[in-house]
Amino acid sequence: MPGSIQSIERAAAVLRLLGSTDRPLGLGEIAA
C-alpha cells in the first residue's frame, strides 16, 4: 500500500522538522 507508506514518511518528515526547531508546542499544534 504505497499510500500508507507515503503518509508514514510524511509524518516522519514532519516530526523531524519539529525536532529541529526550538518550539515545544509544535507537537501540540499538530495533534490539535
The whole-angstrom separation of Cα 9 and Cα 25 is 21
The whole-angstrom separation of Cα 19 and Cα 13 is 10
Q: What is the pLDDT of residue 15?
A: 82
The whole-angstrom separation of Cα 15 and Cα 9 is 10
Task: Return the domain boundaries, the chain.
Answer: 2-31
Residues 1-32 have pLDDT tens digits of 678 989 999 998 888 877 766 666 655 666 55
Predicted TM-score of the model (pTM): 0.48
- Nine cell digits for residue 8: 508514514
